[in-house]
Amino acid sequence: MKKFKTVAIFVYPAEAQVIKAKLESEGIDVFLRNEYTVAAEPFASNAMGGVKMQVYKEDFLRALGLIEKGSPDFSQTITELLKCPNCSKRSVREQHDVTTATNTADRLKAVLYSVVPFIDHKNYKCTSCAHEFDLNE
């Protein structure tokens, strides 16, 4: 049985479709989670963690390379590749993503950050040392 891995996360399905077409033209099978739900109810995108672009695990690095080459901005949403600047571990989660929240407090914060986007906060949090940070730090 093949396993999937999330290679990118998008706010809108149209953004995901552009990258999906590029990856499929290179022979990579792409699956979009939450695509139809977000298309029907766009305001639910942040609460659901966005449209998740998934590929088979064996295609992950190739897909990541194609995304970085064609659209470097999209590759910044991939938290599995981020290192915590405090402890250097790769256990980082995006604060807006409800699905990766580990406890009720983090889930409530993720919903709050999604509903009220102008609140000043850090975008990423290390699940090992609880350090909050942005990519430009």
Find, among 52, 54, 41, 49, the residue nearest to 98 by Cα.
Answer: 49
- Looking at residue 83, its pLDDT comes to 75
Q: How confident is the model over 76-98, as a mean pLDDT?
A: 69
Helix boundaries (H) for 4-118 = 13-25, 35-40, 45-48, 60-70, 104-115
Q: How confident is the model over 18-29, as a mean pLDDT?
A: 93
pLDDT reading at 27 higher than 90: yes
Distances (CA, A) of 50 to 2, 34, 43, 44: 23, 7, 10, 8
Residue carrying structure tokens 């915590």: 84
Q: How confident is the model over 33-62, as a mean pLDDT?
A: 84
**Which CATH architecture fits 4-77?**
2-Layer Sandwich (3.30)
Spatial distance between the Cα atoms of 123 and 94, rounded to a whole number of angstroms = 6
Domain ranges, ordered by start, for the chain: 4-77, 82-133
Least confident of 18-22, 53-57, 74-78: 74-78
**What is the layout of strands, in order, in the sheet containing 51-56?**
4-10, 51-56, 30-33
Each residue's pLDDT tens digit, 99-125? 666 778 877 877 777 666 666 666 677
